[in-house]
């Protein structure tokens, strides 16, 4: 049997990643059966439900904060303890190793909407959502290329990340099912831990993350860039721990924020910000305000042109001139601020040296005086 693209059924079956495909197809069915069974037999325990909520939050945020904003985009820095948490709870989300996830995601940004984008929306909503995961790397039907370790050398040099990549399956099975099972065992509900906080939760987290690649490229507005399919929407932000401001993210992928306005829902940003206030994260990368407004102004101009309005309208030209003047002043001030900050830092360093020398001189003089007068400074 051949399809219109000359792909045989045999080739489809050969290209399939069977374990991933079976889990992704069967787990939602299993989740529905489990929820039905637990409801009918009234087996829910509140502790297990609380654990499920915790696992949903921890595994989902380990993906958005850890796999995505930390490992894939390097948008902030943190300590080893949080790195380990991101790797371990990220494993419990059953979304491959950090290496595989970051490699595919960096390709998604580098080649957005093109043939080389592993989950390009141009191949259809369901391809971007889940189908891209069904096929093996490097096969004719797969859209993920073989891993090029040079492109993720910053991650590969970390022994714990290499360990997770090598032993991904046992680590993931332990963190996703056994770990919540063992916690729930403490109140006598091992199977509730495995089935509800494990399987049901993994299905919810899967489809929340998958929505970033499908819904976030289909639903919403494009305030920062018209070039790519990524869109901003508060609805998808609610589903995806704040990743729904995806148009901004594609325009400025290095920024630790996806939502930049204070009232927009981005718990992943709030988490990173809170860590920074506690001294547990630092070097949070933030795109300067004027570059963001410049991007918005470019989109506005493109829209004006698309609507075939002329930019020669006097009022528009005046307003544009004022905006450009403000942008220029802002970036000049930023430069001056940086210069005087650097100057102040250098002066401070010089003063510090002078201070240390002055103290050493003072100490030397006292010792010399004591020696001359045979005084004992020890007591």
Closest CB to Zn ion among 51 and 99?
99
Binding mask 212-251 for Zn ion (x = CB under 5 A): ------------------x---------------------
**Range list of H helices, 152-288:** 153-156, 159-166, 168-173, 179-185, 190-194, 201-213, 234-239, 246-251, 267-277
Whether 60 contacts 86, CB under 8 Å: no
**Distance separating alpha carbons of residues 32 and 37, to the nearest angstrom:** 9
Closest CB to Zn ion among 23 and 119?
119
- Burial of 188-225, coded b for 16+ CB within 10 Å and e otherwise, reads ebbebbbbbbbbbbbbbbbbbbbbbbbbbbbebebbbb
Closest CB to Zn ion among 8 and 114?
114
Report, in Å, the least distance between residue 216 CB and Zn ion.
6
Which residue matches tokens 């490699």? Answer: 103
Whether 273 contacts 242, CB under 8 Å: no
Q: Mutual orientation of helices 46-61 and 80-91 as an angle, nearest 10°?
A: 110
Binding positions for Zn ion, 292-331, rule CB under 5 A: none
Binding positions for Zn ion, 173-192, rule CB under 5 A: none
Report, in Å, the least distance between residue 30 CB and Zn ion.
29
Report, in Å, the least distance between residue 312 CB and Zn ion.
36
Report, in Å, the least distance between residue 145 CB and Zn ion.
18
> Which of 99, 103, 88, 98 shows the shortest CA–CA distance to 171?
88
Tokens representing residue 12 in the block? 């489809």
Tokens representing residue 242 in the block? 């704040």
Tokens representing residue 369 in the block? 């005086």
Closest CB to Zn ion among 183 and 230?
230
Tokens representing residue 379 in the block? 């007591």
Closest CB to Zn ion among 175 and 239?
239
**Distance separating alpha carbons of residues 145 and 104, to the nearest angstrom:** 8
Report, in Å, the least distance between residue 258 CB and Zn ion.
9
Report, in Å, the least distance between residue 121 CB and Zn ion.
8
Q: Of all helices (H) and strands (E), which one includes residue 374?
A: none
Closest CB to Zn ion among 52 and 209?
209
Report, in Å, the least distance between residue 253 CB and Zn ion.
5
Closest CB to Zn ion among 201 and 246?
246
Report, in Å, the least distance between residue 275 CB and Zn ion.
19
Report, in Å, the least distance between residue 3 CB and Zn ion.
28
Q: Of all helices (H) and strands (E), which one includes residue 77?
A: strand 77-78
Closest CB to Zn ion among 120 and 164?
120
Q: Of all helices (H) and strands (E), which one includes residue 282?
A: strand 281-282
Closest CB to Zn ion among 147 and 230?
230
Burial label, 375 (beta-carbon count in 10 A; 0-12, 13-18, 19+): exposed
Whether 101 contacts 95, CB under 8 Å: yes
**Distance separating alpha carbons of residues 67 and 360, to the nearest angstrom:** 50
Whether 229 contacts 112, CB under 8 Å: yes
* Total residues interacting with Zn ion, rule: CB under 5 A: 1
Closest CB to Zn ion among 174 and 270?
270
Report, in Å, the least distance between residue 15 CB and Zn ion.
24
Binding site for Zn ion (CB under 5 A): 230
């Amino acid at each position: 049997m051949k399809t219109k693209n000359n792909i045989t059924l045999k080739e489809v079956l050969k290209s399939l990643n069977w374990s991933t495909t079976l889990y992704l197809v069967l787990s939602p069915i299993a989740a529905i059966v489990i929820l039905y069974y637990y409801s009918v037999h009234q087996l829910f325990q509140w502790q297990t439900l609380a654990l499920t909520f915790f696992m949903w939050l921890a595994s989902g945020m380990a993906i958005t904060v850890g796999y995505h904003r930390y490992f894939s985009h390097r948008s902030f820095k943190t300590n080893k303890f949080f790195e380990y948490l991101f790797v371990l709870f990220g494993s419990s989300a059953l979304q491959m190793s950090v290496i595989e996830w970051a490699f595919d995601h960096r390709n998604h940004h580098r080649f957005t909407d093109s043939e080389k984008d592993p989950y390009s929306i141009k191949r259809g909503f369901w391809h971007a959502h889940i189908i891209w995961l069904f096929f093996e790397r490097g096969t004719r039907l797969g859209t993920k290329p073989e891993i090029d370790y040079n492109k993720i050398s910053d991650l590969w040099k970390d022994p714990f990340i290499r360990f997770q990549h090598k032993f991904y399956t046992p680590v993931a099975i332990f963190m996703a099912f056994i770990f919540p099972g063992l916690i729930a065992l403490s109140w006598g509900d091992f199977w509730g831990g495995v089935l509800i906080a494990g399987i049901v939760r993994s299905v919810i987290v899967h489809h929340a993350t998958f929505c970033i690649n499908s819904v976030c490229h289909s639903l919403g507005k494009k305030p920062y860039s018209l070039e790519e399919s990524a869109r901003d929407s508060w609805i998808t932000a609610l589903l995806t721990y704040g990743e729904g401001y995806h148009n901004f993210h594609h325009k400025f992928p290095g920024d630790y924020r996806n939502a930049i306005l204070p009232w927009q829902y981005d718990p992943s940003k709030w988490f990173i910000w809170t860590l920074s206030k506690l001294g547990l994260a630092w070097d949070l990368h933030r795109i300067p305000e004027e570059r963001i407004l410049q991007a918005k102004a470019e989109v506005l101009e493109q829209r004006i042109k698309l609507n075939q309005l002329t930019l020669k309208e006097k009022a528009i030209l005046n307003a544009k001139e004022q905006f450009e003047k403000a942008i220029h002043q802002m970036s000049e001030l930023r430069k001056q601020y940086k210069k005087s900050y650097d100057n102040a830092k250098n002066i401070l360093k010089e003063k510090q040296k002078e201070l240390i020398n002055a103290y050493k001189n003072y100490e030397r003089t006292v010792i010399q005086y004591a020696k001359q007068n045979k005084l004992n400074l020890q007591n």
